[in-house]
Amino acid sequence: MKKILVTDDQPSCHVVLKTMIENQTKGVNKYIDCQMLSAFSGKECLEKIKEYKPDLVFMDLDMPEMSGLEAVKRIREDGQLDQLCVVALTGDVRHYGEKNFMESGFNEYMTKPFNVTEMIRYIVSVLK
């Protein structure tokens, strides 16, 4: 079973993402069997990655304890995790800039509010 880790300090983001992904993967893309995991800080994200070895990570940028930028930097520095697919979640792409996301180590970025079709298409492409 594939694993998706959602990392955001806002519980409402977890609920929205989990509901959206679970509903879509059960309906449209039944062949994707995925387990949803949660972390609420960059630090907790790193711990969950080591423990559960997810296939895909969605990560908010602005979180307490450790930002998403610092967490993805540590992921890329770890030789065993450098191929992990990490997607930045942000409410304001202009603040960071598309080029900065990729240079920071993210594979992709998605803006809040989420585009369901775009997100599911991306998940399918990564988890296949």
- pTM attached to this predicted model: 0.89
Question: What is the mean pLDDT, run by run of 10 residues, along the chain of 128 residues?
Answer: 94 87 62 84 97 96 91 93 92 71 89 84 86
Q: What domain count does the chain have?
A: 1
The pLDDT value recorded for residue 9 is: 95
The pLDDT value recorded for residue 75 is: 96
Which CATH number belongs to the domain containing residue 19 in this structure? 3.40.50.2300
Nearest-angstrom CA–CA distance, 54 and 22? 16
> What residue numbers bound the domain in which 28 lies?
2-127
